[in-house]
Structure 1
Amino acid sequence: MNPKLTSALMYAQYHFKVFPLKVNSKSGQVLKSWKEEATTDQDTIMNWFSNTDYNVGVRTGNGLLVIDVDNKNGKNGYQSIEPFLNNFPKTLVVKTANNGWHMYYYVDRPISCKVGLYEAIDIRGEGGYVVGAESVIENKKYFISFDSPIAHANDAVYQFLEKNTKPTKVDSMVYYIHEGERNNYLFKIGCFLQQKGLCDEAIRLCLNKENELRCKPPFSDKEVETIIQSSLKYKKGFIEMKNTMHYEGSYTVTELLDSQEDDEPDIVEDMISVGLTLLGAPQKCGKTFLGLQLSDAIATGKDFLGRKVEKGTALYLAFEDRKTKIKKRLRTMQVEKQDNFIIDILKQDFNYDVESRIQEELKRHSDLKIVIIDTFAKIRKKNDREYESEYKEATFYHELACKYNIAIVLITHVKKEIDTNHPFDGIYGSRGLMAGSDSILVMYKKNHLSKNRQLAIQGKDIPDDELTLHLNERQLLEVVENEIEEDVNENLIKVVNYIVKEKNYVGSHEALCSKLSLPLTGKGLQVLLTSNIDTLQSTFISYEKAERKNKARQMKLTYHGEEED
């Protein structure tokens, strides 16, 4: 048998990877990448060395260390290493073509390659290689001069290696993973790191390093990448940030009263606390403007409707509006540019993962304070409006908000006709949503032609209140002490309120006057409606007059606002 083939197979039996080097060369490469293609596979080795004269390259590292003792160019490595040899364990030694030595040792820790550790002494470790026995350079052969089993390095060898370099710190519990266990070991590590939320690149670096240092023999880079891709298919977890909170626990009253924790501040003073807030308003009442105004206040730290806020990042999930519409509103409101007010433009998605989005934002902005969902109907998973179902739904968002110490605001539609004495009853569904919420805000108009809004406030540990708001020319809501008097015809208000409630009316002007007890004639109502066409359109009401038939002219009033379930 070819002696070089015999030598290569001998190294492979020791689980050391080998590769071919060009004839009469220590560095001439045959393969594209010796680091990736070096192997212990016997069939590959037979193919490389059976009918060739290639020299044998032996990859070091991964548990193999070679002390390279040179004896050339006037330097004598023997003299450098001789004082240490009595304390070194006997091991395999290969005589080199330049009359030097290659001393082979097993090591239990990663050792870097080092040139000139001592005079004429180099170290071949991680990422290195040596020319193997039976190789020939300029008719001079590498051969085994001391045929002994490869020994494990002892303390004397490690002390020798530590000169002029810091030792590598290794966990005393380190152990090697051998064939049959390697794949499962690396896969489990990958899945564990994925579940903990590490980024893909960190997982990739970790598995490659574990493979390099622990797997005996190590996988190829391609094989490790296959394992990495398999572990990345699983859902990535989340690394809890500083503002994640834990609310569970068992305490005596004494312990609670003596505890040193500060009171948890409201996100908006006496209005929105950590937890779930419902914000309800009829269609076209300005709830989106209010939500954007709230987000801007949190991001900038300025007061919201005269109340102090906790400054931080605001995340606005816009499920109803297009990008151009949101942009136009922000410009109208004169919102300044800022990086901690984030708006996601989204489509209706009943499977939308709110928690994953919160986790994603916390990775970028650990000061996240509020998440506003506009509107809640666009992501509700269930159509069931029974109390138990809605309470469970509200509890989910409450617990989610408490877990991450933020406020979650669900914007929702309410009934068009609000009982001013009981505005919270205007929220659609059962009382389950309200029961599971920490605070509830309902904005409404006392009449559909008013420019003023009322904001009713109710919540746990929040005093009940009601604010009168005025929408200014920038579409910002401002608190007013006294209601701004509006010069709107009372008869027109009655007509608008009736049509919004009933949706349409077909009949004569006289009949409508009678139905609503208006102190007008049919002709007077016709004049009133004709002169207020723009006002009617602003409330989504169309007014059509039919051709006169008989004595009374017929007309049609229709409300075109959308109905919400």
Structure 2
Amino acid sequence: MKTQLENALAFANNNVKVFPLSYNSKSEQILSSWKNEATTDVNQIRKWFENTDCNLAIRTGNGLAVIDVDVKNSEEGKKLILEKLKEFPNTFTVQTPSGGYHFYYRVDRLVKCRVRVHEEIDIRGENGYVVGPGSCINGKFYEIKNNVPIAQATESVYSFMEGCVQTKQRKIISSGQYLEGQRNDYLFRMACSLQSKGLDDDAICSAISIENEKKCYPPLKQSEIERLCKSSMRYEKGNLTIKNEVTCTNRYTACELINAQEDESLEIVENMLSVGVAILGAPQKTGKTFFCIQLADSIVNGTNFLGRKVVQGSGLYLAFEDHKTMIQKRLKRMGIKPNDQFVIDVLKSNSEFDLNTRIQQEKEINPDLRLVVIDTFAKIRKSIDRDYETEYKEVSSYHELAFQYNIVIVLVTHLRKEINVDQPFDAIYGSRGLTAGADSILVMYKRNHISNSRQLSIQGKDIPDDEITLVQNENCMLVVSEDEFDEQIDDNLSKVINYIVENKNYIGSHDALCSKLKLNIRGKGLQTLLKKNIDLLKDSNIYYEVLPRTSKARQMKMTYLGDEAL
């Protein structure tokens, strides 16, 4: 079982606030105001839970809600939730000491705390909390029963939290109708689609009015329909193409192409990023967000990026993974100067996200848009299929969009854990269709877990293959390193860190670990080495502690915190 500190850090790592409770208590407070003092600050969390026996509390609200199922008085709540789980997304679950359950969900709307919303079921939302995993009540523990990421709540989950009858909602959804929260988005998309096909304005309004009456529950007011249609008509009206009509507007002879004056340069960043779609792959905690922010800032200001010339223009950063506060901290730490042409959207995961419409909206404000970053691509993937044809088609659609607006679209993605430094592009998740559809591919990685530098491999159409070594300065800005590789790091320490990262944890004596890894030092020497490099261990996301002495040799514990599931 994880320690309270490990559990608390896992939640904090996912922007969920925590705070301590008294030992063996669900309500006895240690803080003067848990609502104000609950935090994700790692240093404060260590002070609370390191070498203490406090219980852990999870602050709900601000994007988190928990379904609290009790079984003290009856099994009705448990029976109901087990039936409903067939409709709900798989999510992080904790079993309480009494045999009840806490089901955690990410929410993008206000969810209030409610008591007995169903038989033996409470909802913990805004200004609430639940006792976290690892906490102890009368010798029994709150235990993690389903250790998966916290899922985004669906409409069925929201209705359950509100106490609605689910059968009615299933009937509405199955008959193709749209509920509150879905109506405006559906009708606006429909209006934009009709506008792109060239329908007359009056015809669009009539069609949307009919759709509203037939498919929206309850229907929107006519004034809202008119406003919605008017908004869709801001975009350029298209032309409906007749299927059998053949037009070749882009036919050239080789003579015409050779003698014609070249169009605007396709390179946005010299020998790195061209107009089209680019894939940036990097493992977690490598600095890919800092990389993207620095890239956008360079393009917006027209300054060199990693020593390479850029085409100046505005930048749009779509942040699907970070909260506003985290991005704000990074901008300040990097010393990014305020600029209205550097636009950041803080968004929720959405497979229906309409990038085309968002680009159109931005170009109305900033016509010189040059860069769009999607961090991360997984948050807007249209399909769960990972075969060549599906992924090639999906990336190609972004390629066409980029050329339509003469921009570069950067799709940020993660890498597999095992990276072949000779073939780094093979580490990108997915089939080869993903990279085949891209115009540029960038992979940023560390050669080993304790490396201070990062390797950036570059590959693209009409771009020379290249690899450069980068380091982060004190402001987390990336700079090109003159040294090709890192300074020499103790071989024994390197072996230990690589072992912990791969195996996640170790509990035992220092001597046993020396023997296991065939180190050329003994237990006392290893203990001294680890204490001396405690900051390096923290930078590698490894928590190290020496446990109290028992009748046996003194034990120590090392835990890797970089791949927490929450």
TM-score band, normalised by the shorter chain?
0.5 to 0.7
Distance in 2 separating the partners of 1:449 and 1:563: 19
> Residue in 1 aligned with 2:305?
304
> Residue in 2 aligned with 1:60?
none
Report if the CA contact (8 A) 2:197-2:237 is conserved: no
Letter in 2 for 1:513: C
> Residue in 1 aligned with 2:434?
433
Change over 3 Å in CA distance of 1:437–1:247 after alignment to 2? farther
Change over 3 Å in CA distance of 1:305–1:513 after alignment to 2? same
What SS does structure 1 have at the residue aligned with 2:373? strand
Letter in 2 for 1:434: T
Deviates more, 1:476-485 or 1:286-295: 476-485
Which structure 2 segments of 5+ residues have no match?
1-190, 206-221, 239-246
Report if the CA contact (8 A) 1:197-1:239 is conserved: no
What SS does structure 1 have at the residue aligned with 2:269? coil
Report if the CA contact (8 A) 1:268-1:310 is conserved: yes
Change over 3 Å in CA distance of 1:456–1:286 after alignment to 2? same
Correspondence list, 1:350-369, <5 A:
350-369=351-370
Relative to the length of structure 1, the TM-score reads 0.56
Letter in 1 for 2:516: K
Letter in 1 for 2:340: D
> Residue in 2 aligned with 1:56?
none
Distance in 2 separating the partners of 1:528 and 1:192: 63
Report if the CA contact (8 A) 2:440-2:458 is conserved: yes
Report if the CA contact (8 A) 1:194-1:234 is conserved: no
User: 1:238 aligned to 235, 251, 257, which one?
Assistant: 235
Letter in 1 for 2:328: K
Letter in 2 for 1:281: A
Task: Give, in angstroms, the shift of residue 551 of structure 1.
Answer: 5.1
Distance in 2 separating the partners of 1:494 and 1:453: 19
Distance in 1 separating the partners of 2:546 and 2:554: 7
Report if the CA contact (8 A) 1:320-1:375 is conserved: yes
Report if the CA contact (8 A) 2:319-2:344 is conserved: yes
Distance in 1 separating the partners of 2:192 and 2:282: 46
Task: Give, in angstroms, the shift of residue 485 of structure 1.
Answer: 5.2
Change over 3 Å in CA distance of 1:341–1:510 after alignment to 2? same
Structure showing greater Rg: 1
- 1:195 equivalent to 2:195? Answer yes
Percent identity for Structure 1 against Structure 2: 55
- 1:279 equivalent to 2:276? Answer no
Change over 3 Å in CA distance of 1:462–1:541 after alignment to 2? same
Task: Give, in angstroms, the shift of residue 523 of structure 1.
Answer: 2.4
Report if the CA contact (8 A) 1:194-1:235 is conserved: no
> Residue in 1 aligned with 2:154?
none
Task: Give, in angstroms, the shift of residue 556 of structure 1.
Answer: 3.2
> Residue in 2 aligned with 1:505?
506
Task: Give, in angstroms, the shift of residue 402 of structure 1.
Answer: 1.3
Distance in 2 separating the partners of 1:563 and 1:387: 30
> Residue in 1 aligned with 2:516?
515
> Residue in 2 aligned with 1:255?
256
> Residue in 1 aligned with 2:170?
none
Change over 3 Å in CA distance of 1:415–1:260 after alignment to 2? same
Correspondence list, 1:435-450, <5 A:
435-450=436-451
- 1:495 equivalent to 2:496? Answer yes
- 1:229 equivalent to 2:232? Answer no
Change over 3 Å in CA distance of 1:564–1:366 after alignment to 2? farther
Distance in 2 separating the partners of 1:440 and 1:373: 14
Deviates more, 1:253-262 or 1:414-423: 253-262
What SS does structure 2 have at the residue aligned with 1:391? helix
Letter in 1 for 2:422: N
Distance in 2 separating the partners of 1:562 and 1:375: 17
Correspondence list, 1:86-105, <5 A:
none
Deviations 1:302-339 (A, max 9, x none): 00000000100100111111212211111111111211
Task: Give, in angstroms, the shift of residue 501 of structure 1.
Answer: 2.1
What SS does structure 2 have at the residue aligned with 1:267? strand
> Residue in 1 aligned with 2:243?
none
- 1:459 equivalent to 2:460? Answer yes
> Residue in 1 aligned with 2:267?
266
Task: Give, in angstroms, the shift of residue 543 of structure 1.
Answer: 2.3
Task: Give, in angstroms, the shift of residue 554 of structure 1.
Answer: 4.1
> Residue in 1 aligned with 2:165?
none
Letter in 2 for 1:533: I
Which structure 1 segments of 5+ residues have no match?
1-190, 208-224
Relative to the length of structure 2, the TM-score reads 0.56
Distance in 2 separating the partners of 1:502 and 1:193: 51
Task: Give, in angstroms, the shift of residue 193 of structure 1.
Answer: 12
> Residue in 2 aligned with 1:404?
405
Change over 3 Å in CA distance of 1:234–1:320 after alignment to 2? same
Report if the CA contact (8 A) 1:416-1:500 is conserved: no
Change over 3 Å in CA distance of 1:380–1:522 after alignment to 2? same
Distance in 2 separating the partners of 1:528 and 1:519: 12
Task: Give, in angstroms, the shift of residue 483 of structure 1.
Answer: 4.0
- 1:293 equivalent to 2:290? Answer no
Distance in 2 separating the partners of 1:518 and 1:192: 65
Change over 3 Å in CA distance of 1:528–1:338 after alignment to 2? same
Task: Give, in angstroms, the shift of residue 553 of structure 1.
Answer: 4.3
Change over 3 Å in CA distance of 1:264–1:334 after alignment to 2? same
Distance in 1 separating the partners of 2:430 and 2:224: 50
> Residue in 2 aligned with 1:383?
384
Distance in 1 separating the partners of 2:353 and 2:288: 22
Report if the CA contact (8 A) 1:277-1:407 is conserved: yes
Deviations 1:369-423 (A, max 9, x none): 0100111122223222222222122112111111111100011111234222111
Report if the CA contact (8 A) 1:283-1:416 is conserved: no
Change over 3 Å in CA distance of 1:285–1:263 after alignment to 2? same
Deviations 1:417-438 (A, max 9, x none): 4222111122112222111111
Report if the CA contact (8 A) 2:333-2:475 is conserved: yes
Report if the CA contact (8 A) 2:318-2:372 is conserved: yes
Distance in 2 separating the partners of 1:420 and 1:560: 24
What SS does structure 2 have at the residue aligned with 1:400? helix
Deviates more, 1:531-540 or 1:465-474: 531-540
Correspondence list, 1:104-183, <5 A:
none
Deviations 1:48-72 (A, max 9, x none): xxxxxxxxxxxxxxxxxxxxxxxxx
Change over 3 Å in CA distance of 1:403–1:397 after alignment to 2? same
Report if the CA contact (8 A) 2:195-2:236 is conserved: no
Report if the CA contact (8 A) 1:194-1:237 is conserved: no
Change over 3 Å in CA distance of 1:376–1:228 after alignment to 2? closer
> Residue in 1 aligned with 2:134?
none
Report if the CA contact (8 A) 1:275-1:398 is conserved: yes
Task: Give, in angstroms, the shift of residue 563 of structure 1.
Answer: 6.3
What SS does structure 1 have at the residue aligned with 2:268? coil
> Residue in 1 aligned with 2:560?
559
Change over 3 Å in CA distance of 1:226–1:282 after alignment to 2? closer
Task: Give, in angstroms, the shift of residue 271 of structure 1.
Answer: 0.2
Task: Give, in angstroms, the shift of residue 550 of structure 1.
Answer: 6.5
Task: Give, in angstroms, the shift of residue 439 of structure 1.
Answer: 0.7
Distance in 2 separating the partners of 1:333 and 1:513: 40
> Residue in 2 aligned with 1:124?
none
Aligned length: 349
> Residue in 2 aligned with 1:11?
none
- 1:474 equivalent to 2:475? Answer yes
Report if the CA contact (8 A) 1:277-1:408 is conserved: yes
Distance in 1 separating the partners of 2:250 and 2:331: 44
Change over 3 Å in CA distance of 1:415–1:231 after alignment to 2? closer
Aligned alpha-carbon RMSD (Å) = 3.3
Task: Give, in angstroms, the shift of residue 348 of structure 1.
Answer: 1.6
Distance in 2 separating the partners of 1:262 and 1:193: 30
Letter in 2 for 1:254: C
Report if the CA contact (8 A) 1:194-1:236 is conserved: no
